[in-house]
Structures are given as C-alpha cells and as structure tokens.
Amino acid sequence: MSTQTTTRPSTGAEADEAAPAVEVADLVKRYGRSSTPAVDGLSFAVRRGEVFGLLGPNGAGKTTTVGVLTTRVTKTSGRATVAGIDVAADPVAARAVLGVVPQRPNLDRSLDARGNLVWHAAYHGVPRARRRALADELLERMGLADKATTNPDELSGGQAQRLIIARGLMHDPRVLFLDEPSTGLDPQARLFVHDRVAELAASGVTVVLTTHDMDEAAKLADRVGIVDHGRLLALDTPSALVAALPGEATIDLTLTGADVASVRGRIDAVRGIAGVEDLTGERPDTHLRVRCDGEAGAVLAPVLGAVADAGATVSQVELGEPTLEDVFIDLTGRGLR
C-alpha cells in the first residue's frame, strides 16, 4: 500500500483528521409514505483504521445506512459524517474521501477492466500521468493483471468483485464501504477478498462492511454492530459479544432410553450448568442442549455421569463454543424474513 500515497484530489472541504472515520447519530430514514422507517434512530462511530461490520438480517437497514453514508440516499433526520464531513451538507466533498463496493456489480461495460479503473481515477481528479500506473498496480494486487483488457461482461463473479474493489481504491479513499462483499462468491474468491480487506485495514484504510455472514463478520471486523429493524441492538468486538451470551458453551447430547424430564432434572443439578434445552422436535431420539457457564469440556464428565444415572444411553456428544451466530439469533430471533 505504500504506492497508494497519491496526492488527494482537492475538494471544497478537507477531511477532519481528528474526527471518527464514520459517525452516525440518531439517523432516521423513512422511504416515501412507508409507515415504518428503514433506519430508526441509529447511532454508532467507527474509529480510524478500524474494520467495522454492520451485521443484520435482510431488510434490517444496513444497506440504507450505507446508502446514506455514501450520499446515495437522503436521510430523513439525524447526522451522518465520513472523515468529519457531513454527507448531507457536502456530498461532493464526502464522495472524494469515500470508496464504495456495491452489493450488485455495476462495472462500466463500455470500458475494459483497466478502463474502468482509469476513468474512475479521472472522475476523482487523479493526475493523468498517475492513472494508468496506479490501475496496473491495483490490477496486479487484485490478481487481475492478465485481465486488463477484458470486458467486465467476461469476468467471473469473483473477478468482477475484485475489479470493483480495485476501482473503489483508485482514488485512495479514507473510508471504504463494502456492501455484502462476498455474497455469491466461491470459497476461493471469498478468501481472496477477505485477505485484501485485512490488508487494507493493516494499511490504515477504514473499512465499513455490511454482511449477514457471521463468519465473515467475526473474521474480518474489529467491532460489529448488530442491527435489526433499523435499530442498533448491540455493538462490541465479536469476542465480547459472544462472551456476553448467557451460557457461554454448549454440550449437545443425543440419547435414548430414559424419561426426558428426569434426565433434564439430573443434568440441571450438575454444578456449572446454566440450563438445559430440549431440541428433540420431530426426531426419534432425544436431543438436549446443555448450556454451561464455563468451558464445555470441564463439565462433560459430570454431565455424562448424570445421564448414565438417569438410565439413558448417549449416542452422540457434540461440544460447542457459541459463535456470533448465536448472539445474532439471540438478538434478532429465529423468525424468517
């Protein structure tokens, strides 16, 4: 990233170096005559150089929030700034300091891959002499060096996504917004995109990504904001969010040959057990999830002892440490959207 130190295009407003990279305060967005707002009083701040994940189910308001921050959606009320620039008051200056990787590919198909990068740089006032070298360098870094003269139509989904990321970086933005960056990508392409995001963060670019992919959020984000119905439900590091869940670890048991109530009663009596859930549902065998206060391994032996005491036979044991997904489900519920 040492090569990314081009002169920034001069704009009406200069970015405020001391301000948070992104700040959203009491943001509300109501579309048309819709009765429920898409974003309903959202507030958060992203530190400079941070990778910030906005996590939420479909329709939670993530994309709308990014839309407001990237000047494509007008807010109803509240405040939104990028690099200290109020995006509503001065969208032109804001556009100069932010980069966008949209959810849907929107590459310019009248231009080849390199053309997409070079003209993007032209829109952003990168000096003519720098554009081509910068484009070739980013193509190289994104593994697209041999695709420079390819039309975007002929790129695979992963290649197109990498080209879009390269395009977003051509004007050396302070903040890069990635909307669902790896939706629809194969595992290799996903990993490549993840690596590039990590690299960007290491080089000091602030990254805001929206996703409904828990693993992606847990892996990439320094902090995660969980959003639903346009409101912020939780905001912390992934590990802190997980640690805050009641019953940190779980033991899943599949068993036969005993009365469920008596087995549950005996397990509940074991020290360090926070609770027992019956997940049997339609299955022929009894399926219990035991929530433990400490590590699952530490209480495994007494739990199995309790099951044996109740006269049941265990056919399968699975230890689980809770994930961000559990936090997510805990906060947003199991209902389908």
Partner 1 sequence: MSAPTTAPRQAGPGQGRAFLGVLGRDLAVTGKEFGSFISQVLVQPFFLLFVFGVVLGQLGYVTPGYAQLLLPGLLALNAFFVAVQATALPLVIDFSYTKEIEDRLLAPLSTRLVAVEKIVFGALRGLFGSLVMIPVGYLVLDEVAWDLAGLPFAALLLVLGSLAGGAAGLVIGTLVSPRRINVVFAVVITPLLFTGSTQFPFLQLGNLRWFQVICALNPITYVSEGLRGALTPSVPHLPGWLCLLALVAACALFGAIGIRGFVRRAID
| Nearest of 178, 173, 184 to residue 196 by alpha carbon | 178
Q: Does 86 bind partner 1 (CB under 8 A)?
A: no
Shortest Å, Cβ 65 to partner 1? 12
Here's the x/- map for partner 1, 19-48, by CB under 8 A: it reads as: ------------x-----------------
Tokens read off for 216 = 């992606």
CA angle 217, 106, 47 (to 5 degrees): 35
Shortest Å, Cβ 39 to partner 1? 12
**CB atoms < 10 A from the CB of 116, how many?**
23
Q: Does 156 bind partner 1 (CB under 8 A)?
A: no
Among 1, 3, 47, 92, binds partner 1 (CB under 8 A): 92
Q: Please list, in sequence order, all residues whose beta carbon lies within 8 angstroms of the beta carbon of residue 221, skipping any fewer than 6 positions away.
A: 51, 52, 53, 209, 238
Tokens read off for 84 = 């200290």
Read off the amino acid at residue 145.
Answer: A
Of the candidate spans 86-94, 202-210, 230-238, 252-260, the one that interacts with partner 1 by CB under 8 A turns out to be 86-94
Q: Does 77 bind partner 1 (CB under 8 A)?
A: no
Longest dimension (CA), the chain: 80
Shortest Å, Cβ 331 to partner 1? 27
> DSSP letters of 223-290?
EEEEEETTEEEEEE-HHHHHHTSSS-EEEEEEEESS-HHHHHHHHHTSTTEEEEEE--TT-SSEEEEE
Q: Does 96 bind partner 1 (CB under 8 A)?
A: yes
Among 24, 100, 139, 310, binds partner 1 (CB under 8 A): 100
Q: Which is nearer to partner 1, 98 or 299 (CB)?
A: 98
Among 12, 187, 281, 284, binds partner 1 (CB under 8 A): 12
Beta-bridged to residue 234, according to DSSP, are 226
Of the candidate spans 53-61, 98-106, 260-268, 302-310, the one that interacts with partner 1 by CB under 8 A turns out to be 98-106
Element (H, E) at 28: strand 22-29
Among 37, 54, 57, 71, binds partner 1 (CB under 8 A): 71
Q: Does 167 bind partner 1 (CB under 8 A)?
A: yes
Q: Which is nearer to partner 1, 74 or 315 (CB)?
A: 74
State the residue for tokens 């390199």: 114
Interface contacts to partner 1, rule CB under 8 A: 9-13, 31, 67, 70-74, 90-93, 95-96, 100, 102, 104, 106-111, 116, 119-120, 122-125, 167
